[in-house]
Structure 1
């Protein structure tokens, strides 16, 4: 077999393959003989059909099957022979049967080869943060709010109070679908309703009725209401204010603490969890910043097949998340056409480029995963569980799970490698600012 190759782009190679006719004919004759053993043709007993008759009846179809199989086998032989790092399936073109050879062209996409620019041109902002006593107190208050109860108040409805009311809406004097409800509960300030609705209830008392004027947003999901002025008749039935639970023995038991442990032990545990959260948040922030700078500073041509695979991976991941949130029944009603390629293309391109760049850095720097860092990562993660030893043993004995941790740690090592040369600027942020940035990155 003769093979020549040429580059048609930075991520594609064209192979010109010539397979000796003798190889094709040899496989054709062998398959013809196998077919003769089972062929059923009128006038002949099974297995006794003359070869020339089988050739006449089935020869053309068998020959085409052989040609397809030979191309399938030889194209991968050719890729290996030319030492091509192929991605995706090759595209076969211009198949021709010549007197002495079967010739064809195959175009195959290849893994991108990149030369990563020097890291000293990269500018990376690295956030720093520390937990303050006020942050711990706020977190403790949030834990109380999660378990708060509601008690009736005779006063006026204010922000953060819960109001139970009936309402009935009209547009141009006509009622509309979904515009009425009874015993509706709403925490003022939650922004669950259209702009102006909650503001109109503030100041009302139990037993009071009122008509409020609001305007539906221009982008409201119900097109027949978008941008329309509306009136809502409100009848307040109950106004309640939040009552936080006391941090007493009962409250402490929720977190596995006794009365003897006291509030200070709860605060210490809360601080420890927050510090772990901050540590992970800062690591993810600087990793994201370093990788963003890396992608922005390097041109990477990516094969269409790699992009398609990543788009499909992200689509399947979203469907899986949808299934987890709404169950299998909800997922069945989920139409994949609701998730077109364009929805994932930008993020997928970035992800593929980053993967190529990181692979190149690993190959050039010869970085290998630091097992001591892997163990430290697992121990830190396990410390948040009731039985850390059990968690450590799980990751120690499950190769797949440990491999996932190793991949995360190796990425961290790449980030450290980049930051060692990059222009790094440190910026102190509060705990809340760090969390908001994390949430924004996850939603992006």
Structure 2
């Protein structure tokens, strides 16, 4: 047995050597299994004498089978016992066979460890929070979103503007020659959706129905199709027709139509819009701050991420990528052929994406350690009770859905984010917290009103059922009395 920590790579490597009687017995068991599938002339399959069967078994197959039959036992009985209480293991271990001979098999298991982090001064990053004050454009954006389900698209003869849907034909040319996949007819595009390469939609703004125009553009350097990346291109486009969105007027009738919970009047609708805009603005402000703060933290901190952890994370990205292709009915092979990429190149790209994400996790973890943030069982109980009250559910039911580990991660992240914001911009943090409280108070009132309405309807239904039961009993009594009277006559 050997145990080695590599601080530079943030790895723990534990090795175990199978040798002597233990390895000999493993090989004998492997031979016994392999003999079952050996056919020797004159004998039924698996029934030949061991001496004859062994002549038909390859040594490499014996060693491979012996190793595979031994790995689980080695891991459970030897490797795991070498892991110490203070080892902060993360991710999945990787297993390697350092040596494999009839004399011995050396198994090495590598664990990624929480790396040492030299934190930058996270209390003085020079990053500030933007204002959470809601502007008119924020309110209009929310109203537009709420009204989007009731939009009517109208034919337009006017110049194309953002938000219009344009039906057009296009054909692309590189060095005066058409290229594969660079043309289509009757293509629908929402201007502003950024579905095409940069500049395409912007240059279509101002065109009109029936107009033909050449768009002079350039493919991005990181374009997925390597043979097109970074090249100048001319798209010849012809606009077939334009449809522009017509939004409904927001009045009392519209408010009734969209049927928002506890929103029945125009005044209540305006309040709902204000809160929704404040919530979205707060989320945007926080996300922008964290993005900038994380970028500075990564630049000013030192952290070595274990390579096998980066590879593991990149593999998850790649699997999600394949799932997205499958939804579009594109196979991995088809994509690689079309894009002129290899799996290795895509994985390398995903590893580059994974690195800053992992560094952020470790840096945040180091901040949590330094600030001594922790989540107790009481915190978990309080969170479950809060959700139970919000959704009118028993706390035991909430616990079945919400695991302690999830609550722990969320609450610690919240504490880290709050610390970064407060220490770097105390003044605007107070305003941010006030905005969050305004939203939370409104949502609590709404939830309370919804629960009261549900309980009221439930009670009304119960009373109605009781009345109907009483009426049915009275009817039955009347029928019995009538029957007895008829018999008496």
Q: TM-score, normalised by structure 1?
A: 0.64
C-alpha spacing 1:216/1:79, structure 2 compared with 1 (3 Å): same
Deviation at 1:119, TM superposition (A): 4.6
User: What is the root-mean-square deviation in Å for CA atoms of aligned residues?
Assistant: 5.5
Deviation at 1:373, TM superposition (A): 7.0
Deviations 1:295-331 (Å, cap 9, x if unpaired)? 333222222221111112123334445666x5xx467
Corresponding position: 1:340 with 2:342: no
Corresponding position: 1:356 with 2:362: yes
* SS class of match (1:125): coil
**Count of aligned positions:** 400
Of 91, 94, 97, the residue aligned with 1:89 is: 94
The answer (yes or no) to whether the contact 2:94–2:109 under 8 Å persists in 1 is no
Report what 2:271 is aligned to. 268
Measured in 1, the distance between the counterparts of 2:54 and 2:172 equals: 82
Corresponding position: 1:104 with 2:106: yes
Measured in 1, the distance between the counterparts of 2:27 and 2:335 equals: 46
Deviations 1:92-111 (Å, cap 9, x if unpaired)? 2234555xxx3636362532
Q: TM-score, normalised by structure 2?
A: 0.59
Report what 2:216 is aligned to. 216
* SS class of match (1:217): strand
Alignment of 1:41-440 (within 5 A): 64=63, 65-66=65-66, 69-70=69-70, 73-74=73-74, 77-83=77-83, 87-95=92-100, 102=104, 104=106, 106=108, 108-117=110-119, 119-120=121-122, 122-123=124-125, 124-132=127-135, 135-137=138-140, 139-140=142-143, 143-144=146-147, 147-149=150-152, 196-201=203-208, 214-219=214-219, 227-228=233-234, 243-256=246-259, 261-320=264-323, 326=328, 329=329, 335=335, 340-362=346-368, 365=372, 367-368=374-375, 370-371=379-380, 374-375=383-384, 378=387, 388-389=391-392, 395-399=398-402, 404=406, 406-418=408-420, 422-424=423-425
Deviations 1:55-79 (Å, cap 9, x if unpaired)? 6776957862435544664366543
The answer (yes or no) to whether the contact 1:4–1:16 under 8 Å persists in 2 is yes
Deviation at 1:28, TM superposition (A): 4.7
* SS class of match (1:245): coil
Corresponding position: 1:21 with 2:20: yes
Measured in 2, the distance between the counterparts of 1:143 and 1:38 equals: 68
The answer (yes or no) to whether the contact 2:134–2:277 under 8 Å persists in 1 is yes
The answer (yes or no) to whether the contact 2:129–2:425 under 8 Å persists in 1 is yes
C-alpha spacing 1:288/1:76, structure 2 compared with 1 (3 Å): farther
Deviations 1:253-307 (Å, cap 9, x if unpaired)? 2321699933111111222222332343344344444444433332222222211
C-alpha spacing 1:393/1:250, structure 2 compared with 1 (3 Å): farther
- The answer for unaligned runs of 5 or more in structure 1 is 383-387, 432-444
The answer (yes or no) to whether the contact 2:4–2:14 under 8 Å persists in 1 is yes
C-alpha spacing 1:150/1:4, structure 2 compared with 1 (3 Å): closer
State the structure with bigger RCO (CA 8 A, min sep 6), 1 or 2: 1
Measured in 1, the distance between the counterparts of 2:413 and 2:58 equals: 57
Identify the structure with the greater helix proportion: 2
Deviation at 1:129, TM superposition (A): 0.3
Measured in 2, the distance between the counterparts of 1:259 and 1:39 equals: 76
Report what 1:10 is aligned to. 9
Measured in 2, the distance between the counterparts of 1:235 and 1:58 equals: 72
- The answer for unaligned runs of 5 or more in structure 2 is 337-341, 433-489
Measured in 2, the distance between the counterparts of 1:117 and 1:168 equals: 52
Report what 1:437 is aligned to. none
The answer (yes or no) to whether the contact 1:17–1:78 under 8 Å persists in 2 is yes
Identify the structure with the greater strand proportion: 1
Deviations 1:92-149 (Å, cap 9, x if unpaired)? 2234555xxx363636253243144365564143334022466435533554466344
Measured in 2, the distance between the counterparts of 1:240 and 1:256 equals: 28
